[in-house]
Amino acid sequence: MRVLVTGGAGFIGSHVVATLRERGHEAVVFDVREDPAADVRDAAAVRRALAGVDAVCHQAAKVGLGNGVADAADYVSHNDLGTAVLLAAMAEAGVRTLVLAGSMVVYGEGRYACARHGVVRPGPRAVAELDAGRFEPPCPVCGEDLSPGLVREDAPADPRNVYATTKLAQEHLAASWARCTGGSAVSLRYHNVYGPGMPRDTPYAGVASFFRSALARGESPRVFEDGRQRRDFVHVRDVAAANAVALEAPAASGALTAYNTGSGDPHTVGEMARALAAAYGGPEPVVTGEYRLGDVRHITADSSRLRAESGWKPETGFEEGMTEFARAGMRGA
């Protein structure tokens, strides 16, 4: 299979390219890092790149939480306009298979249960509560404590920041393309991806990159809130394998199918910082109590659907992955 990988020179994209080639596919890299003309928003460049292509693995995106709404136009341009240009060119070229780099951020907060009111959906956390160090979202009905659980693909979307909004819009665009063309679209909703080749020293990288960059400078990782926020840290090689499986497996025509793509082994951010610091041999993390508006408290995945329908399963455990990541090289921003 000849696969166009947009963002194929990036952190996740480069691992996708390597995995596809290992599995006998021809992976074609389309990335401004390698060629300034390879901009997914450039319709002519995209049309040229699609020549002879069987499928597209769309990894190109502006990632991270961003800076409030100050860079909203940039996010929309890269993520949504870029996706729209790509899909229009695919429709014209007759390419009917798409795997999209989705994200768990489309859910907002994860799944919560109240002892009295069952499953509930807390709203955005109030600034006054965050300033007071009350980080756990309360039950929206009675105000009591909640128990976090695993979120499934059928959970309602509730993006809490600009980046999350653009990732949800990408899915809507891909679904429209699939309906119009009869194509098959899969969105792999990545959880917190980490591993060798993560970009360093950039505000748009993930929390694992922040911590690893701090350790490389001889500094303590700075853990926001109280460090007890839960995430699903999934190794980049496992994410790359999920992309390959999604491209190879038959998918529903005329629709978009979303799959959570996580390790299935949730950990707190504080646990991750401590594991990384221990493996690196650097200073212990510092819990700062700081927060970022737009962050959610707990978001962890139920990835059983992807496992059941494709046979994919993550191969790299948390301790093994963090040990490797502590010693691995990182790339420039």
* Residues with active-site annotation: 163
Contact, 145 vs 228, CB < 8 A?
no
Side-chain-side CA neighbours of residue 165 (13 Å): 14
Contact, 255 vs 183, CB < 8 A?
no
- Nearest alpha-carbon partner for 330 in 196, 217, 207: 196
Rounded to whole angstroms, the Cα distance separating 125 from 306 reads: 31
> Which two three-digit tokens encode residue 137?
């979202």
Q: What is the number of other CB atoms lying within 10 angstroms of the CB of residue 34?
A: 11
> Which two three-digit tokens encode residue 118?
């069952």
Neighbouring residues of 315: CB distance < 8 A, sequence distance ≥ 6: 235, 237, 238, 241
One-letter identity of residue 164 = A
Rounded to whole angstroms, the Cα distance separating 136 from 230 reads: 11
Match 């074609």 to its residue by tokens. Answer: 28
- Nearest alpha-carbon partner for 191 in 241, 239, 223, 240: 239
Q: What is the number of other CB atoms lying within 10 angstroms of the CB of residue 81?
A: 16
One-letter identity of residue 280 = Y
Contact, 234 vs 190, CB < 8 A?
yes
The size of the chain, in residues, is 333
